[in-house]
């Protein structure tokens, strides 16, 4: 009889920092700071098109990202993160908003909605086509 090997969570280190360290340090400012951190991250890792975002999300261990709907001034993404519980998704939203803003040249903001029954997050990018940056 052999002992069962313990399951190894490949995302454990990321989860410790993301779910415990950052929330302890940032406290009530967590969502605001993570949104701006996502924008800063996008400036450091610029994409050539939003089509590259899905690959970046997988490599960064954010989860599986797909485009649900794309229009002239709005894009809706569905994110299936590796972990949903007790997590803020402002980092991912800020990252996508900044990438779209840089690529399109117009002010873009993002809003996220956690969909627990679907185990996903809807991230909506809204672009103000009257506000060039």
The mean pLDDT of the chain is: 92
Q: Are 109 and 125 in contact (CB under 8 A)?
A: yes
Q: How far apart are CA 8 and CA 23, in angstroms?
A: 24
Domain ranges of the chain: 12-132
pTM of the model: 0.89
pLDDT tens per residue across span 42-55: 999 999 999 999 99
pLDDT for res 77: 98
CATH 2.40.50.100 for domain 12-132, yes or no, is: no
- Which residues of the chain carry a pLDDT beneath 50? 1
Closest CA to 101 of 80, 77, 81, 128: 128
Class of residue 57 by CB neighbours under 10 A (exposed 0-12, middle 13-18, buried 19+): buried
Q: What is the pLDDT of residues 97-111, one digit of tens each?
A: 999 999 999 999 999
């Amino acid at each position: 009889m052999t002992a069962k090997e313990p399951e190894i969570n490949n995302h454990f280190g990321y989860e410790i920092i993301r779910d415990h360290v950052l929330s302890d340090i940032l406290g009530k400012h967590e969502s605001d700071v993570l949104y701006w951190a996502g924008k800063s991250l996008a400036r450091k890792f610029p994409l050539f098109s939003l089509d590259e975002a899905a690959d970046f999300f997988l490599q960064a261990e954010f989860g599986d990202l797909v485009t649900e709907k794309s229009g002239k001034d709005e894009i809706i993404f569905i994110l299936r993160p590796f972990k949903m519980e007790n997590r803020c998704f402002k980092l991912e939203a800020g990252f996508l908003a900044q990438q779209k803003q840089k690529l399109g040249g117009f002010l873009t903001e993002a809003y996220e909605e956690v969909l627990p029954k679907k185990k996903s997050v809807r991230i909506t990018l809204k672009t103000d086509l009257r506000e060039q940056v």
